[in-house]
Chains A and B, each alone.
Chain A
Amino acid sequence: MFNLAHIRGGIHPAAHKDRSAALGIAAQPLPPRLYLPLRQHAGAEALPLVREGARVLKGQLLAGSPTELSAPIHAPSSGRIIAIGPIEAPHPSGLQANGMVLECDGEDRWVDLDVPADPFAEDPLRLANRVAEAGVVGLGGAIFPAAVKLRQGAKHEIKTVLVNGSECEPYLSCDDRLMRERAEAVVDGARLIQHILRAYSIVIAIEDNKPAALAAMRAASEPYGAIEVVAVPALYPMGSAKQLICQVTGREVPAGGRSTDVGVLVHNAGTVYAIQQALRHGRPLISRVVTVAGGCVGNPRNVETLIGTPVQALFDSCGGLLREPRQLLLGGPMMGVVLPSTRVPVIKGATGLLALDRHEVPQRESAPCIRCSRCVDACPMGLAPLEMAARTRVDDLDGASEYGLRDCILCGCCSYVCPSHIPLVQYFQYAVGQQDERRSAARKNDYIKRLSEARAARLAEEEAARAAAKAAKKRKATAPAGEVSP
Chain B
Amino acid sequence: MEYALFLIGTVLVNNVVLVHFLGLCPFMGVSGKLDPSLGMGLATTLVMTLGGLSSWLLEHYVLLPLGIGFLRILSYILVIAGLVQLLEMIIRKASPPLYRSLGIYLPLITTNCAVLGVPLISAREGHGLAEAGLFGLGSALGFALVMVIFAGLRERLALASVPAAFAGAPIAFVTAGLLAMAFMGFAGLI
Contact = CB atoms under 8 A, between A and B. Distances in A.
Contacts of A391: 159
Nearest to B161: A368
A393 B158 CA distance: 11
A338 interface: no
Main SS of chain B's interface residues?
A: helix
Contacts of B158: 394
A64 B47 CA distance: 71
A391 B159 CA distance: 7
Nearest to B159: A390
Contacts of A393: 159
Nearest to A393: B159
B153 to A, nearest CB: 14
B41 to A, nearest CB: 22
Nearest to B158: A394
Contacts of A368: 161
Interface string B150-168: 0000000011010000000
Contacts of B161: 368
Q: How big is chain B's contact interface, by range? A: under 10
B20 to A, nearest CB: 33
Nearest to B155: A399
Contacts of A390: 159
A348 B70 CA distance: 89
B168 to A, nearest CB: 14
Interface string A380-391: 000000000011
A390 B161 CA distance: 10
A137 B142 CA distance: 61
Interface in A356-402: 368, 390-391, 393-394
A390 B155 CA distance: 11
B34 to A, nearest CB: 12
A394 B157 CA distance: 12
A278 B161 CA distance: 56
Contacts of B159: 390-391, 393-394
Contacts of A394: 158-159
A414 B31 CA distance: 32
Nearest to A394: B159
Interface in A232-288: none
Nearest to B156: A390
A176 to B, nearest CB: 43
Interface in A164-181: none
Interface in B144-190: 158-159, 161
Nearest to A389: B159
B190 to A, nearest CB: 35
A230 B159 CA distance: 45
B108 to A, nearest CB: 28
B115 to A, nearest CB: 33
Interface string A4-18: 000000000000000
Interface in A100-129: none
A391 B158 CA distance: 9
A393 B161 CA distance: 10
A111 B159 CA distance: 61
A211 B110 CA distance: 76
A368 B159 CA distance: 12
A224 B19 CA distance: 78
A463 to B, nearest CB: 40
A215 to B, nearest CB: 52
A368 B160 CA distance: 10
Interface string A392-431: 0110000000000000000000000000000000000000
A377 B159 CA distance: 22
A325 B53 CA distance: 78
A348 B161 CA distance: 44
A216 to B, nearest CB: 51
A390 B159 CA distance: 6
A397 B133 CA distance: 44
A390 B158 CA distance: 10
A394 B159 CA distance: 7
A392 to B, nearest CB: 10
A368 B161 CA distance: 9
A390 to B, nearest CB: 4
A390 B160 CA distance: 8
A85 B184 CA distance: 73
A368 B158 CA distance: 15
A394 B156 CA distance: 12
A391 B155 CA distance: 11
B163 to A, nearest CB: 13
A183 to B, nearest CB: 52
B16 to A, nearest CB: 31
Nearest to A371: B156
A429 to B, nearest CB: 20
A351 B172 CA distance: 52
A140 B156 CA distance: 40
A394 B167 CA distance: 14
A428 B114 CA distance: 45
A154 to B, nearest CB: 46
A182 to B, nearest CB: 52
A164 B158 CA distance: 44
Interface string B103-128: 00000000000000000000000000
A224 B35 CA distance: 60
Nearest to A387: B159
B63 to A, nearest CB: 51
B152 to A, nearest CB: 13
A378 to B, nearest CB: 21
Interface string B68-91: 000000000000000000000000
A106 B161 CA distance: 62
A394 B158 CA distance: 9
A368 B162 CA distance: 12
B129 to A, nearest CB: 45
5 contacts: A368-B161, A390-B159, A393-B159, A394-B158, A394-B159
Interface of B: 158-159, 161
Give the top 6 A-B pairs by smallest Cβ distance, nearest first.
Answer: A390-B159, A394-B159, A391-B159, A394-B158, A368-B161, A393-B159
